[in-house]
């Protein structure tokens, strides 16, 4: 059955709305407009190397890394619990884990604003205990909390899906050969779950490093991340060339992490997420 032409509208669409726009980003990132026309240049990338911008990049990577580590520490035990046989209503438990993932992340972030703000529920609770109110909102910790809250399911689900596919006889064999619980985990379960861990790490790290909403709402604009920098360049400053250059750097970071991940990822693993 030869029906290739059916995909032509899509191919045109891809070319127009995916390929061409990315080409434009590339074009803007390596050119500059002067009086006598457009000139090829690397100055925008050089500008990004200035300490003030590098600090933004560093802060983004730092906050994203901290969030990723917290997600891993919180999420791995949870994934193990979900993958274990202990619970009757396992499917519902997994579904409950998916629901917040599909909820608008603006709402999830906003929910924390109401909790953390000066007159919010947490501070009301503190004063009820007779304690002084704290400045919770608009801090770096609030941004990290927002990231962990938003992206925790992205860590748990890939690890869960790998863990639940592990052949139980491998664990039994290790136990028969005299390994204790810790050894079984260290030598059998954890190494086998690595693909899930890696895909979880990328799925948390990538949106965390590119977000501009969480830092704007929970950081109050004091903690500029790379996403905020891009947003500002395009919507406030109007420097498309510099904004494009930063976007190119960001895409490079993402592509590299995907490349590293896909090297370890075997077919179909973690693909049930979308």
Of 173-202, binders to another protein (CB under 8 A) are none
Identity of the residue, 46 or 77, whose beta carbon is nearer to another protein in the bound complex:
77
**Nearest of 200, 196, 208 to residue 250 by alpha carbon:** 208
Judged by CB under 8 A, the residue of 73, 98, 134, 256 near another protein is 98
Judged by CB under 8 A, the residue of 64, 250, 265, 270 near another protein is 250
Judged by CB under 8 A, the residue of 44, 56, 60, 105 near another protein is 105
Tokens 């503190």 sit at which residue?
A: 126
Q: Residue 40 in contact with residue 31, Cβ under 8 Å?
A: yes
Token pair belonging to 155: 């860590």
Alpha helices in 5-118 (DSSP H): 8-14, 20-29, 43-48, 51-83, 90-102, 105-116
Binding mask 209-248 for another protein (x = CB under 8 A): -x-xx--xx---------x--xx--xx----x--xx--x-
Site for another protein in 20-49 (CB under 8 A): 20-22, 24-25, 28
Identity of the residue, 51 or 129, whose beta carbon is nearer to another protein in the bound complex:
129
Judged by CB under 8 A, the residue of 53, 62, 90, 100 near another protein is 100
Please state the φ and ψ torsions of residue 137, each to the nearest 5 degrees.
Answer: -80, 160
Q: What is the smallest separation between the CB atom of 228 and another protein, expressed in angstroms?
A: 10
Where does this chain touch another protein (CB under 8 A) — which range of 34-42, 107-115, 157-165, 182-190? 107-115
Residue 254 interacting with another protein (CB under 8 A): yes
Paired strand residues for 39 = 32
Q: What is the smallest separation between the CB atom of 246 and another protein, expressed in angstroms?
A: 10
Site for another protein in 56-95 (CB under 8 A): 74, 77-78, 81-82, 84, 86, 91, 93, 95
Q: Residue 31 in contact with residue 239, Cβ under 8 Å?
A: no
Identity of the residue, 193 or 202, whose beta carbon is nearer to another protein in the bound complex:
202
Q: What is the smallest separation between the CB atom of 34 and another protein, expressed in angstroms?
A: 18
Site for another protein in 112-171 (CB under 8 A): 112-115, 117, 119-121, 123-124, 149, 152-153
**Maximal CA-CA distance, the chain:** 78
Residue 103 interacting with another protein (CB under 8 A): yes
Identity of the residue, 42 or 95, whose beta carbon is nearer to another protein in the bound complex:
95
Q: CA of 1: how far to CAs of 4, 5, 6, in Å?
A: 9, 11, 12
**Nearest of 76, 222, 225 to residue 162 by alpha carbon:** 76
Burial class (CB in 10 A: 0-12, 13-18, 19+), 73: exposed
Identity of the residue, 192 or 251, whose beta carbon is nearer to another protein in the bound complex:
251
Residue 102 interacting with another protein (CB under 8 A): yes
Q: Residue 163 in contact with residue 80, Cβ under 8 Å?
A: yes
Q: Could you give the CA distance from residue 260 to residue 144 in angstroms, rounded to a whole number?
A: 25
């Amino acid at each position: 059955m030869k029906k290739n032409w059916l995909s032509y509208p899509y191919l045109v669409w891809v070319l127009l709305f995916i390929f061409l726009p990315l080409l434009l980003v590339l074009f803007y990132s390596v050119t500059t407009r002067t009086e006598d026309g457009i000139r090829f240049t690397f100055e925008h990338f050089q500008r990004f190397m200035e300490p003030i911008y590098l600090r933004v990049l560093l802060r983004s990577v730092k906050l994203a890394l901290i969030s990723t580590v917290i997600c891993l520490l919180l999420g791995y035990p949870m994934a193990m619990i979900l993958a274990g046989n202990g619970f009757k209503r396992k499917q519902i438990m997994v579904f409950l884990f998916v629901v917040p993932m599909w909820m608008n992340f603006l709402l999830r972030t906003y929910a924390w604003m109401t909790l953390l703000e000066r007159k919010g529920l947490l501070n009301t609770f503190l004063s009820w205990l007779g304690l002084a109110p704290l400045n919770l909102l608009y801090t770096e910790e609030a941004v990290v909390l927002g990231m962990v809250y938003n992206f925790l399911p992205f860590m748990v689900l890939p690890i869960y899906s790998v863990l639940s596919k592990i052949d139980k006889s491998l664990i039994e064999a290790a136990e028969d050969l005299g390994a204790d619980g810790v050894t079984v985990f260290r030598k059998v379960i954890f190494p086998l779950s690595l693909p899930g861990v890696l895909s979880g790490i990328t799925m948390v790290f990538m949106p965390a490093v590119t977000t501009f909403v969480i830092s704007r709402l929970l950081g109050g604009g004091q903690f500029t991340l790379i996403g905020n920098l891009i947003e500002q360049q395009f919507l406030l400053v109007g420097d498309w060339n510099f904004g494009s250059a930063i976007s190119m750097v960001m895409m490079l970071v993402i592509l590299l992490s995907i490349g590293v991940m896909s090297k370890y990822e075997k077919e179909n693993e973690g693909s049930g997420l979308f």
